[in-house]
Amino acid sequence: MGCRREARRLVVGVGLLVPGLLLIPAPPPTDAAPAKPTAPDKPTARARPAAPAKPIATTKPVARRPAAKPKTGETAAAREAPDRCVHMVKSGDSVGRVAARYKVTRQAVLEANRLGSRDMLKIGQRLQVPGCVSAAAAAIRVEPVPTNTPFTASVGPRKVPTRLFLGTPDLDGRAIDFTWPVVGNVVSGVGRRRLGWHAGIDIKADVGTPVLAAASGTVYFAGWERAYGRVIKVEHDNGFASIYAHNLQNFVEAGDRVDLGQVIATVGRSGRSTAYHLHFEIRHEGTVLNPLFLLPRRDTAMVGPSEEMGEPLDEEEDE
């Protein structure tokens, strides 16, 4: 009996022990790599508050300025005139005619195209014309100049300030008698030019033609000047003076007394000159006068510049 009781207790004990063993967790394997410690989470950057939206500016309509109106007599082509033109040679063209058409000197056309003075032009040839004034640019209105009152203007490309009077002078009995210094056509007169004012008249004549003193007086200069070349300046009575420029030869010296009609020089093309001619001026107390109002009237009419000369003949360099 005792043995059976012991056996029953053993069975009951085992039955209570087995469920408890099943609930105990198994220990981790000894050869497993230890788990890496997890890095702490980085602090999250705080989000910046959004900038307040700018108020939308109301745009005002932009008023368009009206296009500038061209000046009176000015064309769009004239405002955009180039500094260099190209001329296509046509039948009857010559270097002088091309130069006169574009208001430049004959020498400028020759140098720009590397031409000799005797080179012939060919129809269809293209000529470079530096510093040209095209027909459109020439249409620009030129302000009128006073003809009844003296005024000061820039004479020649060097812009020498000079006093001029273009009208018929009222000399109040102080006028003196002048004669023509040389026989020939007047091919350029006193007036405005592309590079400045022309202060005298150009009289075309053959080389070596005698130049006469236009009135009696005393020579106060005879020599060479860069623009005038060989030049003679004579002082007359009542504040008058006369100038003879571009001479081939001078026959008088400073201090010499000359008589009306005396031969004082010969026609040449010295200095800034493109053809044989005499540049002649008359001044009264320093003011440039138009010699045509003081010289005797004659049948020879004033003509435009000839084809081989352009205008004026002294390359606009007179002083």
pLDDT-derived band at 107, boundaries 50, 70, 90: confident
If one compares 44 and 254, the residue with the highest pLDDT of the two is 254
pTM of the model: 0.54
pLDDT-derived band at 106, boundaries 50, 70, 90: confident
The separation between CA 279 and the C-alpha centre of its own chain, rounded to angstroms, equals 28
Candidates 88, 111, 199; CA nearest to 152 is 199
How is residue 187 written in tokens?
């091919």
Q: Which of 60-69, 91-100, 125-134 shows the lowest per-residue confidence on average (mean pLDDT)?
A: 60-69
Instruction: Given CATH 2.60.40.10, say whether it is the number of domain 145-293.
Output: no
Per-residue pLDDT at 191: 84
In this structure, the number of other CB atoms found within 10 A of the CB of residue 299 comes to 4
CB 156 within 8 A of CB 317: yes
CB 246 within 8 A of CB 268: yes
The tokens 């003011």 sit on which residue? 287
Per-residue pLDDT at 135: 46
What is the mean predicted confidence (pLDDT) over 82-97?
A: 77
Euclidean distance between CA atoms 145 and 36, whole angstroms: 105
* Cα distances (Å, whole numbers) of residue 89 to 95, 96, 112, 302: 9, 12, 15, 28
Per-residue pLDDT at 120: 78
Q: Tell me the average pLDDT of the chain.
A: 74
Per-residue pLDDT at 80: 41
Same topology, domains 76-137 and 145-293? Answer is no
* Region of residue 159 (left: phi > 0; alpha: psi -120 to 50; beta: else): left
The separation between CA 287 and the C-alpha centre of its own chain, rounded to angstroms, equals 30
Residue 42, judged by CB atoms within 10 A of its CB (0-12, 13-18, 19+), counts as exposed
What is the mean predicted confidence (pLDDT) over 5-22?
A: 58
Residues of the chain above pLDDT 90, percent: 31
Listed by start position, the domains of the chain span 76-137, 145-293
pLDDT-derived band at 276, boundaries 50, 70, 90: very high
Per-residue pLDDT at 10: 61
- Reply yes or no on whether the pLDDT at 175 is more than 70: yes
Q: Which of 3.10.350.10, 2.40.50.140, 2.60.40.10, 3.40.640.10 would CATH assign to domain 76-137?
A: 3.10.350.10
Q: Which of 59-63, 128-132, 152-156, 267-271 shows the lowest per-residue confidence on average (mean pLDDT)?
A: 59-63
